[in-house]
Amino acid sequence: MLRLFRVLGKRGRITIPFEIRQRIGFRYNDVLSFTELDDSSVVVRKEKICDNCIDIAEEYSEDITLEDFLASLSEEEQREALIHLSLLWAEKLKVTGYRS
């Protein structure tokens, strides 16, 4: 078992060590879930946004459009994706201090 240590930043951020990302297969923009266990430890899992999505890498060329991807999702999966993107956008606006 690989054991590495990192310091939690002021904003609650931490970088997952390269060795862990490589071994587990975490990639940029992956969705991760955090589950607190009874012993105060936390399990981090790589999640799929949808269970029945087509495998984009095999079915499409690299120039797939966002519209094509969204069309491949169920209505519920589209809703979850919208919520996820809205939270990312809100965080970006908060960090940059952007005001319309």
Instruction: Provide the residue ranges of all domains of the chain, joining segments of one domain with +.
Output: 1-47, 49-100
**Is 60 within 8 Å of 38 (Cβ atoms)?**
no
The class that CATH gives domain 1-47 is mainly beta
DSSP 51: S
Each residue of 17-41: pLDDT tens digit?
A: 999 888 888 888 888 889 999 998 9
* pLDDT score for 38: 92
The pair of structure tokens assigned to 63 is 């120039």
- Given the DSSP bridges, would you call strands 42-47 and 31-36 parallel, antiparallel or unpaired? antiparallel
**pTM greater than 0.85 (yes/no):** no
